[in-house]
Homo-oligomer: A and B are copies of this chain.
Amino acid sequence: MDLLEYQGKQLFARHAIPVPSGQPASTVEQAVAAADQIGYPCVVKAQVLIGGRGKAGGIRVAKDRAEAEQHARSILGMDIKGFTVHEVWIEEASQIAAEYYASIVFDRAAKAPLVMLSKEGGVEIEQVAEENPEALARLHVDPLLGFQDFHGRRLAFAAGIDADLIRPVGAMLAKLYAAFVAEEAMLVEVNPLIVTPERDVRALDAKVTLDDNSLYRHADNAALRDPSAEDAQEQMAHERGLTYVKLEGDIGILGNGAGLVMSTLDVVALAGGAPANFLDAGGGSKADAIVSAVEVILSDEKVKAVLFNIFGGITRCDEVAKGLIEAFDVVKPTVPFVVRLDGTNDVEGRRLLAEANLPNVHTATTMNEAAEKVVELAANAGAAA
Contacts and interface: CB of A to CB of B under 8 A. Distances in A.
Interface of A: 144-145
Nearest to A146: B144
A326 to B, nearest CB: 41
Nearest to A142: B144
Copies of this polypeptide in the complex: 2
A331 B144 CA distance: 55
A91 to B, nearest CB: 36
A145 B143 CA distance: 10
Contacts of A144: 144-145
A174 to B, nearest CB: 15
A144 B145 CA distance: 6
A144 B141 CA distance: 14
Contacts of A145: 144
A145 B142 CA distance: 12
A145 B144 CA distance: 6
Nearest to A143: B144
A364 to B, nearest CB: 48
Nearest to A145: B144
A265 to B, nearest CB: 40
A149 to B, nearest CB: 13
A144 B148 CA distance: 14
A350 to B, nearest CB: 45
A144 B143 CA distance: 9
2 contacts: A144-B144, A144-B145
A38 to B, nearest CB: 37
A145 B146 CA distance: 11
Nearest to A144: B144
A195 to B, nearest CB: 29
| 2 closest cross-chain pairs (CB), A and B | A144-B144, A144-B145
A376 to B, nearest CB: 55
A144 B146 CA distance: 9
A145 B145 CA distance: 9
A146 to B, nearest CB: 9
A50 to B, nearest CB: 39
A217 to B, nearest CB: 13
A144 to B, nearest CB: 4
A282 B145 CA distance: 33
A322 B313 CA distance: 86
A216 to B, nearest CB: 16
A113 to B, nearest CB: 15
A90 B145 CA distance: 42
A338 B145 CA distance: 51
